[in-house]
Chain A
């Protein structure tokens, strides 16, 4: 029971510390804003506005999420070892493995919160994109400006409200703004449900492409794997080298199908490396949605098992390494 409490306390602190760093708010807010603006600012996409908005939103989700995951993972391991907070915590009745696992739980909470925000933004962004609209009044290509501006306003509204709360109650601005953003984006999503694409009041219907959900879930899984890898490396290396190694791992995983997959049948070494390096292509399936296609949830479940195996492997290595780290 004590251990469960300690996990919750340490994970909570890790998440709180991550959220109170301005970079986390900046990355999440920018991701939402860019996702909102993408369908409103693009021109000449030859009838593929929806695809562009969807792909852009998922790409922002992945790229900004990588920075959130990498930064949070490095901050809670490498930086804490260097500045001595880890030593202070480990002088309490806290085991090293429990400490390391709890840190990952905290980082995972932040990554999942970011992913939830980015996913809702992508769903709404795809709705905003210009599409053929038919109705009793006739037909035409329509951009859902109301939904677009509502989504784009969410980061600013969250920041303004957090500023007011900071002024009135002296609550920390960054974490308050992040939490308010987590509320503002779903609120925008929900409000839009009461309007049709022409901006007229209508019965609740979200009018979004739910096929995006499995694609976003796969990206969230990839981010968790990246966070686990970053945490494992951060037990031995400072922040910048850790991010460099993880970036290398990411690139290697992106090209492993091309360079290793084709040789795997002939070369045991290629097969070994192919199996060893996480294959990020398994998590990036945006193209599967093109032309009305869908990603089966059974595939998502299989990918979830693959991601869980990768996370377990990285955390195992990290915990093994962390058990022997000296707190100088």
Chain B
């Protein structure tokens, strides 16, 4: 997670939403669905902010209103202090949609070049960034294949790459890990953390709670378009009435003595277990070994680390 100092800074909010309401209407303009209902939230500079909720809770609708793709029925939305449809503001935003919508006849390189051109990036840095991004998402070997032939996971990776071509200050990710294998999920989470370390602001929506828990500083939980819970992830999840101690394996005698002391102190016996590696780490280990011994892949190849310009290792950033 990003540094708390960034989260708690008094700088103006990157995204401010006040009383946001969105009602979808039918062909005859009659109200059909109230997707968002009186939403208030603020996203602060440098934080990773998570929108959680079950399907249909209003997450994507909220993100699309923030980007000026949908129009609010009521309330106010400001991004970098400007209305969401402001063109200049969009130079500072990167967006990964829920479904990676790509031009199927273009290759990944052409796709990234196209989006880079929309930001008027000069040719040399555009090509350089496209190359770095393709290596970052593990698709350098498929750079000349039409993206229409790609699997969902591969399309997702190109979608992510296009969202970062302008080195955005605010990254909006709608279900970023949907359709990705565990390696892709881990890479995206690492990428988000790397971006947050550089002071970027990230807003993501997800219903995969483990992903959100791993990276988010603050979350809101939506249900039927309303906020049901919000706050820092640690604050919301911490069980203040329990303490966990992890130590290297100890002899049985020592363990019995410690349990006795703890029982005496708390009045009840502590739970003792051998911790297990989580499945994600185990899977990543196995695949890493397989990568070392395999030939060129047909799908996603081995990905490099975060693109240099996103990691702040390159001078002359910006768009």
CA distance A21 to B114 in the complex (A): 18
Would B69 and A85 count as touching, CB distance under 8 A? no
Would B105 and A172 count as touching, CB distance under 8 A? yes
CA distance A81 to B99 in the complex (A): 13
Does A84 lie at the interface of the complex (its beta carbon under 8 Å from any beta carbon of B)?
yes
Would B97 and A84 count as touching, CB distance under 8 A? yes
Would A17 and B87 count as touching, CB distance under 8 A? no
Given contacts A13-B114, A85-B102, contact A91 B69 (CB under 8 A): yes
Given contacts A87-B101, A90-B68, contact A172 B146 (CB under 8 A): yes
One of A85, A93, A172 near B118 (C-beta < 8 A) = A93
CA distance A328 to B33 in the complex (A): 13
For B114, what are the chain A residues with a Cβ–Cβ distance below 8 Å? 9, 13
CA distance A84 to B162 in the complex (A): 14
Does B71 lie at the interface of the complex (its beta carbon under 8 Å from any beta carbon of A)?
yes
For A175, what are the chain B residues with a Cβ–Cβ distance below 8 Å? 105
For B172, what are the chain A residues with a Cβ–Cβ distance below 8 Å? 91
For A326, what are the chain B residues with a Cβ–Cβ distance below 8 Å? 69-71
B-contact bits for A1-35, CB 8 A (1 contact / 0 none): 01001100110010011001100000000000000
> How many residues belonging to A are interface residues under a CB distance threshold of 8 Å?
29
Shortest distance from the beta carbon of A21 to any chain B beta carbon, whole Å: 7
Does B291 lie at the interface of the complex (its beta carbon under 8 Å from any beta carbon of A)?
no
For A83, what are the chain B residues with a Cβ–Cβ distance below 8 Å? 101
Would B97 and A328 count as touching, CB distance under 8 A? no
One of B70, B106, B119, B159 near A327 (C-beta < 8 A) = B70
For B24, what are the chain A residues with a Cβ–Cβ distance below 8 Å? 328
For A172, what are the chain B residues with a Cβ–Cβ distance below 8 Å? 105, 146
Grouping DSSP codes into helix (H, G, I), strand (E, B) and loop, the B interface class, with mixed when no group exceeds half, is: loop
For A6, what are the chain B residues with a Cβ–Cβ distance below 8 Å? 117-118, 120
Does B127 lie at the interface of the complex (its beta carbon under 8 Å from any beta carbon of A)?
no
Closest chain B residue to A83, Cβ basis? B101
B-contact bits for A59-89, CB 8 A (1 contact / 0 none): 0000000000000000000000001110111
For B105, what are the chain A residues with a Cβ–Cβ distance below 8 Å? 16-17, 20-21, 172, 175
Does B95 lie at the interface of the complex (its beta carbon under 8 Å from any beta carbon of A)?
yes
Does B78 lie at the interface of the complex (its beta carbon under 8 Å from any beta carbon of A)?
no
Interface residues of A in 313-328 (CB under 8 A from B): 324, 326-328
Would B90 and A89 count as touching, CB distance under 8 A? no
One of B67, B68, B99 near A84 (C-beta < 8 A) = B99
> How many residues belonging to B are interface residues under a CB distance threshold of 8 Å?
32
Would B71 and A89 count as touching, CB distance under 8 A? no
Interface residues of B in 93-144 (CB under 8 A from A): 93, 95, 97, 99, 101-103, 105-106, 114-115, 117-120, 144
Would B87 and A94 count as touching, CB distance under 8 A? yes
Would A94 and B118 count as touching, CB distance under 8 A? yes
For B286, what are the chain A residues with a Cβ–Cβ distance below 8 Å? none
One of A16, A92, A324, A328 near B119 (C-beta < 8 A) = A92
Does A44 lie at the interface of the complex (its beta carbon under 8 Å from any beta carbon of B)?
no
CA distance A6 to B59 in the complex (A): 30
Does A258 lie at the interface of the complex (its beta carbon under 8 Å from any beta carbon of B)?
no
A-contact bits for B83-95, CB 8 A (1 contact / 0 none): 0000110110101
One of B90, B91, B97 near A87 (C-beta < 8 A) = B97
Would B95 and A5 count as touching, CB distance under 8 A? no
For A91, what are the chain B residues with a Cβ–Cβ distance below 8 Å? 67-69, 90, 93, 95, 97, 172
For A88, what are the chain B residues with a Cβ–Cβ distance below 8 Å? 95, 97, 101-102, 159, 162
Does A170 lie at the interface of the complex (its beta carbon under 8 Å from any beta carbon of B)?
yes
CA distance A20 to B144 in the complex (A): 15
CA distance A43 to B114 in the complex (A): 52
Closest chain B residue to A169, Cβ basis? B144
What is A's interface to B at a CB cutoff of 8 Å?
2, 5-6, 9-10, 13, 16-17, 20-21, 83-85, 87-95, 170, 172, 175, 324, 326-328
What is B's interface to A at a CB cutoff of 8 Å?
24, 64, 67-71, 87-88, 90-91, 93, 95, 97, 99, 101-103, 105-106, 114-115, 117-120, 144, 146, 159, 162, 166, 172
Further 13 A-B residue pairs, CB within 8 A, beyond A5-B117, A20-B105: A5-B120, A6-B118, A17-B103, A83-B101, A88-B97, A88-B162, A89-B118, A90-B69, A92-B90, A92-B119, A93-B118, A170-B144, A328-B70
> What are 24 A-B pairs with beta-carbon distances under 8 A?
A6-B120, A9-B114, A13-B106, A16-B106, A21-B105, A83-B101, A84-B97, A87-B64, A87-B69, A87-B101, A88-B101, A88-B162, A89-B118, A90-B69, A91-B93, A92-B90, A92-B118, A92-B166, A93-B118, A95-B87, A170-B144, A326-B71, A327-B64, A328-B70
